[in-house]
Copies of this chain bind each other. A is one copy, B any other.
């Protein structure tokens, strides 16, 4: 039985343009940080091309495994936008133009603008709920545990804001960091001992170059339990203080 304190998510990014390098993804980091802040653990990200089999297979693998799956991309008005149809196929559901979506789109588009291409953006699997888009109206949707959003960052962000309050969230993963002022290789051994002594925490070590251009290290302790976090961080700091001076 899943731990109710832990709600998980995966992100499925759909788009040839990300895989070709033509468009640089800006959604992974944003969604990752957003999930952390609301108490959902992002556990996996996949980027797949605009190909039906790839999308359906990835979606079915991810939705079976995580509490939520967010998709970005492929819900525009052109022939290469196939996400909604792939989601319907993954769920084995019929898909058609959703009249609630059309009604929302009428607030933005004139009747003559609601052509066949734009009406494709209103295609949703049977039983889907609309995800509001405060930026330019054209909605995303949610079906089961899958939330289908636009790829354009500003629109994705509006949709995420709309759907987030409806999501179940878990106990937040707390984190604290300390700057080691040491090279990673100089603290690897004592840090391993601290990590082993604090199994209810995750301790990560991240090298960086500091303002003096010197190799330095940030140590991050993460836990859902404030006491465990504090105890581990105290030991990390004691470990650093006990190192020979540089």
Contacts and interface: CB of A to CB of B under 8 A. Distances in A.
Nearest to A37: B21
A225 interface: no
Q: Please classify the interface of chain A as helix (H, G, I), strand (E, B), loop, or mixed, using the class held by over half of its residues.
A: mixed
A33 to B, nearest CB: 3
Interface in A28-64: 28-36, 41-50, 54
A115 B189 contact: yes
A45 to B, nearest CB: 4
Contact of A45 (B19, B116, B118, B192): B19
A204 B81 CA distance: 9
A185 B45 contact: no
A77 B188 contact: yes
Given A25-B29, A49-B43, A115 B185 contact: yes
Given A79-B195, A205-B76, A35 B21 contact: yes
Interface string A81-123: 1000000000000000000000000000100010111101100
Contacts of A202: 16, 80
A193 to B, nearest CB: 9
Interface in A5-35: 13, 16-25, 28-35
A170 interface: no
Nearest to A118: B185
Interface of A: 13, 16-25, 28-36, 41-50, 54, 76-81, 109, 113, 115-118, 120-121, 152, 173, 175, 184-189, 191-192, 195-196, 202-207, 220, 222
6 contacts: A21-B32, A22-B175, A44-B47, A77-B185, A115-B185, A115-B186
Given A19-B44, A109-B185, A117-B186, 10 more contacts: A13-B45, A21-B30, A21-B32, A24-B29, A44-B47, A46-B46, A78-B184, A80-B202, A113-B186, A115-B189
* The 9 residue pairs across chains A and B that have the minimum distance between CB atoms: A117-B188, A21-B33, A21-B32, A45-B47, A78-B205, A24-B29, A79-B192, A77-B188, A118-B185
